[in-house]
Amino acid sequence: MQLRSLGRDDLPEAVALLDVAGLAGAKVNLARYLRCQPRCGWAAIVDGCLVGLVTVLRQGTAAFVGAMAVHPDHRGARIGRRLLEHGQDEARRDGVTTFLLEATPLGEHLYRKLGYVSEHDTLIVMNVRAGLPPPAQITADLVAIARLDRAATGVVRDDMLIGLVAEHGPGVAIHRAGELIAFGMIVGDRLGPVLAKDPDAGREIVDLLAPACSVSAVPEPNRAAVDALARHGFVEARRLRRMRLGPAVPIRVDRIWALASPGAG
């Protein structure tokens, strides 16, 4: 088995593997992760075929692990472990000290073996009633959005936000006394990221955007967000476990109303 960097040319094979592995979100987002950080992905190759991959997105001194998949025919042979350890080693060389992720039940076995601990559950919620057109969106102040995002997630992911807004934005925002206090956007049929400094502003963003979306991911401890989405018909479809390796980051789950994606936080 060989480990090497995952390139844009690997995308068709990688997307097919994510499909087989049941990682629908990663399948949609992988190309964007590679555009944002061309050296964030790692591939495991056996007999010339891509049998495993993982992405490790740098977010300041933290990094977010996503798209972790090994082909079913090759599972249990420590390919997942070797891929992730390799990605972590490379990130540590760049000064990363904390790794974050949203684990599926299968992934959780692997992450626990590597020393990851649980932080909270994240609900994947779905809405069968979705379908209304999205509201008119505003021109976003990227500097203010990045500041709001840092204060909520505790990490620095300005490059990802700029890429998201450029491709899918601009999003909707709420200001109070000249300050941006909430921001949200829709990516495809997914609601998120949604960030808000207070519950009223978070609810307002959800009320504006949720009717046009069919899926979202929300930290379970943010009950106000879970309830706001439930009022729009979103019900729990499955859950992920947010896990961490290394020192905690100053996350404020009460300010995170919807994740950008399970592979980027």
Ligand X SMILES: CC(C)(COP(=O)(O)OP(=O)(O)OC[C@H]1O[C@@H](n2cnc3c(N)ncnc32)[C@H](O)[C@@H]1OP(=O)(O)O)[C@@H](O)C(=O)NCCC(=O)NCCS
Q: Which of residues 29, 37, 88, 104 is near ligand X by CB under 6 A?
A: 104
Task: Please tell me whether residue 217 binds ligand X under the rule CB under 6 A.
Answer: no
Largest CA distance in the chain: 61
Residue 12 CB, shortest distance to ligand X, in Å, is 18
Q: What is the nearest approach in angstroms of ligand X to the Cβ of residue 239?
A: 12
**Residues 51-90: x/- map of binding to ligand X (CB under 6 A)?**
-----------------xxx----xxxxxxx---------
Strand pairing report for 179-187 and 62-70: unpaired
Out of 106, 142, 224, 226, name the contact with ligand X by CB under 6 A.
106
The Cα–Cα gap between 146 and 168 comes to: 16
Specify the amino acid at residue 219: P
Is 194 a binder of ligand X (CB under 6 A)?
no
Q: Counting contacts by CB under 6 A, is residue 25 touching ligand X?
A: no
**What is the Cα–Cα distance from 111 to 235, expressed in whole angstroms?**
27
Q: How many CA atoms lie within 13 A of 192 on its CB side?
A: 25
CB atoms near residue 49 (< 10 Å): 12
Binding piece for ligand X, criterion CB under 6 A, among 32-40, 108-116, 136-144, 213-221 = 108-116
According to the binding rule CB under 6 A, does residue 46 interact with ligand X?
Answer: no
d(C-alpha 178, C-alpha 58), whole Å: 31
Please report how close the Cβ of residue 34 comes to ligand X at its closest, in angstroms.
18
Cβ distance 262 to 122 under 8 Å? yes
CB of 73 to ligand X, least distance (A): 10
**Of 85 and 198, which CB lies nearer to ligand X in the complex structure?**
85
The residue type of 217 is: A
Neighbours of 5 (CB within 10 A): 12
Subset of residues 113 to 142 that bind ligand X, contact rule: CB under 6 A? 113
Element (H, E) at 186: strand 179-187
Q: Could you tell me the smallest distance in angstroms from the CB atom of residue 207 to ligand X? A: 31
Q: Which residues contact ligand X (rule: CB under 6 A)?
A: 21-23, 68-70, 75-81, 103-104, 106-107, 109-110, 113
